[in-house]
Amino acid sequence: MTQRAPLSLGRRGLLGGLAGAAALGGGLVVRNQLRHAHSDETVRPDGQFRKLTLACPHPAHDPVLALALHEGFLARYNLDITVLSGFASGQEALAQLRPGGADVAIAAALSWLPRLLGGLDAKMVAGLQSGSARLLVDRKSAFKRIEDLHRHSIGLANAAGGADAGADRLFFSIMMRRKGMNPNVDVNWVSVAPEHFGDALASGQVQAVAGHDPVIWQVRERLRLVELASSMTGSYAQRVSRVLGVRGDLLTADPQAAVSLVLAFQDAARTVARHLEETASILADQLPDMTLPTIQKMLEAEGHAVHPVGPELREQIAQYIDELKLLGLVPEEQDSGGLSKQFCQTVLHG
């Protein structure tokens, strides 16, 4: 695979934020609030400087990563992070977790699990936020419930690698399976570029479209679609989606690196949840087709208070593994809790 160039995150200089950017307009007081040690008093970073490489699909659109870079959270823990860009999906980003590639990655839990089940040598160490997947239909359509899509077609906004790939498809397949549908037979999944969603819906090529923010939010607003289902309702609203993970050999050789990473990203995730308006301002450079109020409205509709670590992360990942059993992707007799413990690592306590 062609080596990816480090990403430039726009005129506000997100990568430059590693050295500490000026406070945002509107009175962001992140630095004043977080000058002191991390709230977890049982753990201390060792103060060692580390230069690491991180892979992430569309990193400039990731609220926690964007704020962590812009506001210097990583630098505060002596982390110099090079961000690799150009990945269309979490699967592509996770493929970079190898010696000579990426040390760290951010991807959806439902992107992590197929890779880890396939033998990827890595561990999930921290959740960053809950999901932002949306399944949309025309507001005038007869579809009112997800099971109404039986024998119909769904266009996927994040179908890199074919319509069989992608955390969004997996998520909505789980919802369909819970409704008694077979998502591999009862629904036709179609790869459609988001800019062609309107034509695909109008022509009847698809009856619904699916994806995650910010792309699917823009589609919803532009085409005035309504949500048939999303990852922001019911129990899923409290379930982590975006997860930080570390390569296995790095964890073995330098476990303190993971401590610094988790502390930095936990600080950033908590700050995003408290400062959505300022986070929207950071993202605005990379979303020129969206107004600042629109970006803030999108962030408010997402779950930014969900960033589990340790046993809570393992419990949530075990729930995903149980759901993958519904799809036949994990053997029914497999111990979900045991797999989750194998795939996750607690780095802040013991």
**pLDDT of 9 strictly over 80:** no
pLDDT for res 43: 63
Residue 84's Cβ-side half-sphere holds a number of Cα atoms within 13 Å equal to 27
Closest CA to 322 of 333, 308, 312, 313: 333
Place of tokens 């923010």: 213
Distance, in Å, from the CA atom of 255 to the CA atom of 285, rounded to the nearest integer, reads: 35
Distance, in Å, from the CA atom of 272 to the CA atom of 263, rounded to the nearest integer, reads: 14
pLDDT for res 166: 87
As a whole number, mean pLDDT of residues 278-287 equals: 94
- Number of residues written out for the chain: 350
Tokens of 320: 């995903």
Mean pLDDT over all residues of the chain? 86
In CATH, what class is 15-131+240-343? alpha beta
Q: Give CATH 3.40.190.10 domain extents, the chain.
A: 15-131+240-343, 133-230
Give tens-digit pLDDT for 20-68. Answer: 332 333 333 344 343 333 444 456 777 899 999 999 999 999 999 999 9
pLDDT for res 278: 95
Give tens-digit pLDDT for 199-249. Answer: 999 999 999 999 999 999 999 999 999 999 999 998 999 999 999 999 999
Contact of 307 with 269, CB cutoff 8 Å? yes
pLDDT for res 158: 59
pLDDT for res 160: 44
When pLDDT is cut at 50, 70 and 90, the band that residue 4 belongs to is very low
Return the CATH architecture of domain 133-230.
3-Layer(aba) Sandwich (3.40)
Q: How would you classify the pairing of strands 104-108 and 50-55?
A: parallel
Tokens of 166: 């992608």
When pLDDT is cut at 50, 70 and 90, the band that residue 85 belongs to is confident
CA distances (Å), 220 to each of 33, 226, 249, in order?
36, 7, 42
Which DSSP category does 158 fall into? S
Write the DSSP assignment of 157-217 as a string of letters.
Answer: SS-TT-TT--HHHHHHHHHHHHTT--TTTSEEEEE--GGGHHHHHHHTS-SEEEEETTHHH
Give tens-digit pLDDT for 92-149. Answer: 999 999 999 999 999 999 999 999 999 999 999 999 999 999 999 999 999 999 999 9
Give tens-digit pLDDT for 319-342. Answer: 999 999 999 999 999 999 999 999
